[in-house]
Amino acid sequence: MAKKIKDSSASTPAVAASRRRVGKGAVTASVPRTPERLEEVAQVVVANGDDAVPDAPRRRRRAVANAAAAAVGARFRRWTKAEVVEAFSRFEAADPEPRGELDHSDPFTLLVAVVLSAQATDAGVNKATRGLFAAAPTPAAMVALGEEGVARHIRTLGLYRGKAKNVVELSRLLIAEHGGQVPRDREALEALPGVGRKTANVVLNIAFGEPTIAVDTHLFRVANRTGLAPGTTPLAVELGLEKAIPDRFKLHAHHWLILHGRYVCKARLPECPRCLIADLCRWPEKTPAPA
């Protein structure tokens, strides 16, 4: 059974002051910047649920919920090896071959799609890349299309001009340095414009079958909220998961956790009644089943 965390918010001056400022059961929509503020937000969210930021934009609510989960998750009792195996056995039984939701046809189009997915939804990226990949399915075609041509296809995405510049430049570098092929090497991938550790992990996992774990906003929340691998940064969560998850589950682990966070363990209102691992999860204030 999950260990309940005592709600100490009523006796915490910082939380009491916060409630007076923004109303009982609410927190400001800004992302916590200090350990003290992080703890304050965490206590209010634990006391009132993830709906404690009702009027903020979705991305900001998610950021606050993730920060609160990171602060609280560090205090949870660690999962046992048997619990980890049980959790991933359930995910495997429910979805033996999970798949990412970005449309692509090869490593190059996957790389481009993941670069474009920063600060965007997979559905939005898929809508934008439908025309882009028809016009430029290869690095050479992408370079020929140019920044303005790429930008015309992806203008519905946030930061589209910067993304267009990165896509054209990474395509040029693939031709100049890698024979037009996407490298199967983390260092080489991260040397490309617009490619960070998360993007490299996605490409290595999906395109090349490497057992990497890409920590996005959903996976970060799940790892912290459940207590599976608490951490205050994506890298800390990634390393914690690599240590905790048995090798036999690692190839699909990040897909299971990302999809679980996207569709079940949601930032604002987690759907705990239909969660596969609710009995293992350490989060103290689970969403109750409908009456």
pLDDT digits (tens, 9 = 90+) for 166-197: 999 999 999 999 999 999 999 999 999 999 99
Residue tagged active-site, from 50, 163, 198, 266: 198
Specify whether 216 is catalytic.
yes
| 272 assigned binding-site residue | yes
Residue 115 tokens, joined: 């670069």
For the residues of 168-209, what is the DSSP string, one character each?
HHHHHHHHHHHTTS--S-HHHHHTSTT--HHHHHHHHHHHH-
| 103 assigned binding-site residue | no
Give exposure, 81-117, as e/b (b: 16+ Cβ within 10 Å).
eebbeebbeebbeeeeebebbbbbeebbbbbbbbbbb
Look at residue 37 and tell me whether its pLDDT is greater than 60: no
* pLDDT the model gives residue 24: 35
Neighbour count for residue 57 (Cβ, 10 Å): 10
DSSP 8-state secondary structure symbol assigned to residue 79: P
Domains of the chain: which residue ranges?
Answer: 9-73, 107-208
pLDDT band at 209 (very low <50, low <70, confident <90, very high): very high
Specify whether 6 is catalytic.
no
How far is Cα 115 from Cα 195, in angstroms, rounded to an integer?
6
How far is Cα 232 from Cα 69, in angstroms, rounded to an integer?
9
Residue tagged active-site, from 6, 95, 127, 216: 216
How far is Cα 157 from Cα 167, in angstroms, rounded to an integer?
13
The answer to whether domain 107-208 has CATH 1.10.340.30 is: yes
* pLDDT the model gives residue 58: 62
- 3-state DSSP call for residue 149? helix
| 265 assigned binding-site residue | yes
* pLDDT the model gives residue 60: 64
pTM of the predicted model, to two decimals? Answer: 0.77
pLDDT band at 99 (very low <50, low <70, confident <90, very high): very high
Look at residue 5 and tell me whether its pLDDT is greater than 70: no
* pLDDT the model gives residue 77: 85
241 in Cβ contact with 229 (< 8 Å): yes
Look at residue 54 and tell me whether its pLDDT is greater than 50: no
Query: 37-51, 156-170, 176-190 — which is least confidently predicted?
Result: 37-51
